[in-house]
Amino acid sequence: MTRFVFITGGVVSSLGKGIASAALAALLQARGHNVRLRKLDPYLNVDPGTMSPYQHGEVFITDDGAETDLDLGHYERFTGVHARRSDNTTTGRIYSDVIARERRGDYLGATVQVIPHITDAIKEAVVNGTDGYDFVLVEIGGTVGDIESLPFLEAIRQLRNDLGYDRTMCVHLTLLPYIPSAGELKTKPTQHSVKELQNVGIQPQILLCRSDRPIPKNERQKIANFCNVRPEAVIAALDVDTIYACPIAYHQQGMDREVLRYFDLDFEESPDLTKWEKIVETIRHPKKEARIAVVGKYTALLDSYKSLTEALLHGGIAHDARVKIEWIDSEALEKTDDVSSILQDLDGILVPGGFGERGSEGKINAIRFAREHKIPFLGICFGMQMAVIECARSLANLPKASSTEFGPTEEPLVALMTEWAKGNELLRRREGDDLGGTMRLGAYTAKLADGSRVAEIYGKTEIKERHRHRWEVNLHYKSQLEAAGLRFSGMSPDGILPEIVEYPDHPWFIGVQYHPELLSKPFDPHPLFAGFVGAAVERHETAPFLDEKTES
């Protein structure tokens, strides 16, 4: 029997519903239950694929090619369960589906309304494909009281009646602010938030209260009395120094116990949290260190690189090392004549994915610096493309090499992809197509060259990685680039699309067309990030500073 746990949020946004959902799922897993997580987003976009990173943060890609909310990345990193397209539903997708059904005549001429048509579609999105799971955790985006969330909350209210209260429960995340002048935690925001939830017919069974300090017994009892929950069900979500401490912290507060108690399941035996304890211990007390620059153009909002940040942390865990990330705006490297003043003391340089010409020359400058000074380098998606352009300009006598993404060019080293194979299906796209969903998206296979560095890193010659891009490296220039020293060490199975490039004579220089950060987990670091951070750690321990190196 599948049980559903709905996670809502109140008072303010950004309290951490995604982390709370993922941590609870990890605890249930540790107790032997199989889980699935889903996210309902109330915005009208069909998906976040065309949204600015400054608006939405990172777009997380699933194996089946869905562009989804970044919280699905947290779900995967905490549980290891690969998300699917059906695990992220937006208001835009619901309305698009309902309107399409109405146009087909599926509603037999009925007046289409929020209730029952929109709420029925939401309920279908929640329950479809959940057979065989012990628990399905469903996070509702936004904040209770927002007008956008109302159809989702109504659908949850109906689902609790449809499925029965023995199969459904609601966890509500709120804020307990501390007022220094009063010297106490204030419970009133939580009371009002729960009242908002009760006004739409939902009574939460557990309150997860974000706080920077423990909740005194009197305040806990007060919250329980006013919000109609058991005192034991008022769970303190205390601030922690790393998100990977959340499963341990929530278990100590009794969250998993209360969930199992509600569903009348055994909770006496403690879960095995050994792997989380080891991860947290490594993060808190690393024995080594590396300084790595991330050269991008969305550095003003670090959520734009959420999976990347976590993957670097995972790479550090693999080597018992602390990774200190230096965020460098790529445009700053276009405005200086002395790139070394910014990059000289770093142990590694990473150029991530991105779109558009802005900041591209700064990324190329960073790549050239990494290549010339033998600094470990990892280029991801756009970063790989810029690495190829840098090689063409600097080493292959193609000074006008560029990308058609930036406009017409005499030497299109990177060009718009118009067709590609996915399994037995040939996918096509034209330049004027809509932007949303028209990229090479999802998991694709790549073949690795025998004897290459990437084959050594992966320990095999066939891999499957997740993609998100419109432009490809132009194979027309392959022979010239390889003559200049750049090896194409990974290709699509048909040999048409370059997937990986590397410099064999460089200590560690790899560019990949895909996004390896999307598959990295704290208990299973991605091989490329483990290798990259390992090379950076080695440089940190052995390499002299650039000025010393230059003098010698």
pLDDT per residue over 400-437, tens digit each? Answer: 999 988 888 888 888 876 555 556 565 555 655 555 55
User: Cβ contacts of residue 192 below 8 Å, gap of 6+?
Assistant: 11
pLDDT, one tens digit per residue, over 40-55 is 999 998 888 777 776 7
> CATH 3.40.50.880: which residues of the chain?
286-551
Fold of 3-24+34-236: Rossmann fold (3.40.50)
- Judged against a pLDDT cut of 80, whether residue 228 lies above it is answered with yes
**Torsion angle of C-alpha atoms 238, 240, 245, 249, degrees rounded to 10:** -20
Q: What band does 143 get if pLDDT is binned at 50, 70 and 90?
A: very high
User: For residue 551, what pLDDT is reported?
Assistant: 39
User: Cβ contacts of residue 287 below 8 Å, gap of 6+?
Assistant: 320, 321
pLDDT, one tens digit per residue, over 200-221 is 999 999 999 999 999 999 999 9
Q: Mean of the per-residue pLDDT values for the chain?
A: 91
* Enzyme catalytic residues: 381, 515, 517
Architecture of the domain made up of 286-551: 3-Layer(aba) Sandwich (3.40)
User: For residue 432, what pLDDT is reported?
Assistant: 55
Of 26, 237, 35, 18, which is closest to residue 142 (Cα–Cα)? 18
- Judged against a pLDDT cut of 80, whether residue 74 lies above it is answered with yes
Of 136, 37, 51, 53, which is closest to residue 88 (Cα–Cα)? 37
Of 13, 14, 33, which is closest to residue 259 (Cα–Cα)? 33
Tell me the β-bridge partners of 427: 420
- Judged against a pLDDT cut of 50, whether residue 550 lies above it is answered with no
Looking up tokens 């987003």 gives 41
How far CA 149 is from CA of 122, 154, 339, 481, in Å, comes to 12, 9, 48, 53
Average pLDDT for 17-29: 97
Return the number of other C-beta atoms located less than 10 Å from residue 142's C-beta: 22
> CATH 3.40.50.300: which residues of the chain?
3-24+34-236
Strand positions, DSSP E, 42-106: 60-61, 67-68, 88-90
Q: What band does 357 get if pLDDT is binned at 50, 70 and 90?
A: confident
User: Cβ contacts of residue 461 below 8 Å, gap of 6+?
Assistant: 447, 448, 449, 450, 455
